[in-house]
Structure 1
Amino acid sequence: MSEATHILLTGASGFVGRALHAKLIEQNMPVAASLRMPSQLEVPNTFFISDIDGRTDWSAALTDQHIVIHTAARAHIMKDEVADPLAEYRKVNVEGTLNLAWQAVAAGVKRFIFISSIKVNGELTGLNKPFTTEDAPGPEDAYGISKLEAEQGLQQLAAETGMELVIIRPPLIYGPGVKGNFASMIWLAKKGLPLPLGAIKNKRSLVALDNLVDLIITCIDHPAAANQVFLAGDGQDLSTTELLRGVARAMGSPCRLVPVPAGLLQLGATMLGKKAMAQRLLGSLQVDISKARKVLGWKPPLSVEQGLKRCFDD
């Protein structure tokens, strides 16, 4: 990348943004960071954007920038208690994103990299029938719908203005400091309690944080990335059983899994009103990353085993 190329990274204090910002600094790339609060990242060249919506003023942060990497978003919330979740997601993820993109065009930004979500494709795949970028979208929740609408708005904007657009859809992201479902899995593994998940034969695609960061950086100046959609992943799919065993190995802890048939677990979860949780544990969600391999010549730098070990780096 040319040393004259300047990058604005939004969401620089988030799970992905913080790791990406550190890597950009490490590689001596000129980067400005947008944050929600002044105390979130003690680095120079930062802009504090407290709220993102259709009225946010990005003019100061966009001055002299050539690339925008937009990781900031209203994240997926498991138990959303707002009256209208879709409206809240749209305010940040759709209106806020498109407002930033239009201001980026006006400021002369050449490329806009949007971190979307595999939820745009859907929630489940058939076993060994991974999602591809060519599949018709099938979001099932408000978060996924908002990410799809943002993608569609950005694609229209790019077609009208000529600003290059790159869309990246990651599945579940794991790495140091991970939260959410993956953190819950780590907590269970640490407890060493027997779990009835020793006979699950599904397949789930994941992406290590370092692998996602590497893909994003590849897309900053790769000419073939322009106006493309890529699915991110480690290139190695795991069953829930394999994942739990891998987490335990990475921690150096015993793994106590009881081989209960998946059908019985599904039935029990349905009776207890935990159908969604069972879907995440028992269902398959696979992604095909061959497009990124072919178009960009990209390959994930870390294996799943290495990525899991990174979760426990001090």
Structure 2
Amino acid sequence: MKVLVTGASGFIGQALCEHLQSSGLFVRAQMRRQPAAAANYECLIGELDDLAFLSTALAGIDVVIHLAGRAHQFGKDASNLDAMMAVNRDLTLRLAAEAEKNQVKRFVFVSSIGVNGVETNAVPIDESSPPNPIKDYALSKYEAEIALSARYIDQSGPMDLVIVRPPLVYAANAPGNFRKLLKLVDKGIPLPFSGVSNQRSMISLNNLTDFIRVCATHPDAGGEVFVVSDGQDFSLPEILQALFEGKSKAPRLFYFPVAIMSTAARLLGKGALMTQLCGSFIINSEKARTVLNWVPPFSPRDELVKSARDFK
């Protein structure tokens, strides 16, 4: 089986290409610039809006795994919804159309659990949960899902569609808020989170790449949407304790009222960050286990410990 991975130079893309290659699949990696180190799979440098490049990239490909997208924008581009839509929705649809023309058999679209919102209450999110995209990034992913589904989910054409919505993905080289936690733990700074009693679903990079491989190859994955996680949820103190263990440091957590922290965060314009750290977000990924018979191959707590141990 021949697989094209878009956005292959990113955090998830690099690990995914290595995992697919080691699993015996032929991997062609689309990148926008030359990789820093040599890879043991085929690398093509080019833009996804270049039809001539796409013709070369898609030649002989059985499965496209689409990771490329516009995310984590800051400054003046942080709320540029049009730019998000142009890349995450419109470019995705053009890529899928070209893939179909080139007789690709399956299109795996890696979306975001943000399609379902930013916080849960007592009821975990699953594939039947109503969409609730809050951020521009999630909205652009959701609109791409709608358009792709209208064309491919219920069609009996030559190319089927798989949609994957991962939550926070963690590893030693993870970006975003997880990297901020790793930095705080690495410095040994006392943290005021011992009183946080939330629950969060996440997925390790190793578990996610394995799940995406299954979505690319399993005959029953076509036409399905999957929310996926490690299958074990942690509170913020439990996450931090595992990270401190990975750094061979005693946990440095102390109590401070969550309500006061939340109020202060909102006043400082950091309410969203506080929700991500201290709010609950729980996923029920039972469908991945029942439909695909997928069990996360890596222990989530071990993966958290390893993330801190390997962090530099």
Same fold flag (TM > 0.5)? yes
* Distance in structure 2 (CA, Å) of the matches to 1:156 and 1:162: 15
For 2:79 and 2:297, the matched residues in 1 are separated by 40
Range moving further from structure 2, 20-29 or 303-312: 303-312
Query: 1:70-219 to 2 correspondence within 5 Å?
Result: 70-77=66-73, 79-82=74-77, 85-126=80-121, 128-158=122-152, 159-160=154-155, 161-219=157-215
Q: Which moved more, 1:264-273 or 1:192-201?
A: 264-273
Pair 85,41 (structure 1): closer, same or farther in 2 beyond 3 Å: farther
Counterpart CA distance in 2 for 1:56 and 1:169 is 30
1:293 to 289, 294, 299: 289
Task: Give the drift of 1:228.
Answer: 0.5
Contact 1:6-1:67 at 8 Å conserved across structures: yes
Residue 254 of structure 1 deviates from its aligned partner by 2.3
> CA contact under 8 A between 2:239 and 2:304: conserved in structure 1?
no
Whole-angstrom distance in 2 between the partners of 1:197 and 1:84:
30
Could you tell me whether the CA contact under 8 Å between 1:139 and 1:148 is conserved in 2? yes
Tell me, in whole angstroms, the C-alpha distance in 1 between the residues paired with 2:211 and 2:9. Answer: 19
Please state whether the residue corresponding to 1:281 is helix, strand or coil: helix
Task: Give the SS at the match of 2:77.
Answer: coil
Moved over 6 A (4+): none
| 5+ long unaligned stretches in structure 2 | none
CA RMSD of aligned residues (A): 1.8
> What's the CA shift string for 1:241-269, capped at 9, x where partnerless?
11111111122122211112222221222
Is residue 2:18 matched to residue 1:22? yes
Contact 1:9–1:68 (8 Å) recurs in 2: yes
Return the offset for 1:213.
0.6
Tell me the SS of whatever aligns to 2:35: helix
Deviations 1:164-216 (A, max 9, x none): 11111010000131121101001111111211111100111110000001101
The amino acid of 2:233's aligned partner reads D
TM-score, length-scaled by structure 1: 0.93
Deviation at 1:113, TM superposition (A): 0.6
Matched, 1:239 2:235: yes
Kept after mapping to 2: 8 A contact 1:7/1:32 = yes
Query: Take 1:22 and 1:45, find their aligned partners in 2: how far apart are those partners?
Result: 11
Match of 1:266 among 259, 262, 266: 262
How many matched pairs?
307
Q: Write the letter of the residue equivalent to 2:6.
A: T
Distance 2:283 2:161 in 1: 21
Matches within 5 A, 1:34-53: 34-40=30-36, 42-43=38-39, 44-50=41-47, 52-53=48-49
> Any conservation in 1 of the 2:103–2:158 contact (CA below 8 Å)?
no
The separation in 1 between residues aligned to 2:95 and 2:295, in whole angstroms, is 30
Q: Distance in 2 between matches of 1:296 and 1:235?
A: 15
The share of aligned pairs that are identical, in percent, is: 38
SS at match of 1:33: strand
CA contact (8 A) 1:13 1:40 kept: no
1:254 maps to 250
Deviation at 1:54, TM superposition (A): 8.7
Number of the residue aligned with 2:280: 284
Q: How far has the Cα of 1:279 moved from its partner?
A: 1.1
SS in structure 2 at match of 1:39: coil
Whole-Å Cα distance in 2 between the matches of residues 195 and 70 of structure 1? 38
TM-score normalised by structure 2 residue count: 0.93
Deviates more, 1:190-199 or 1:165-174: 190-199
1: CA distance, partners of 2:241 / 2:79: 39
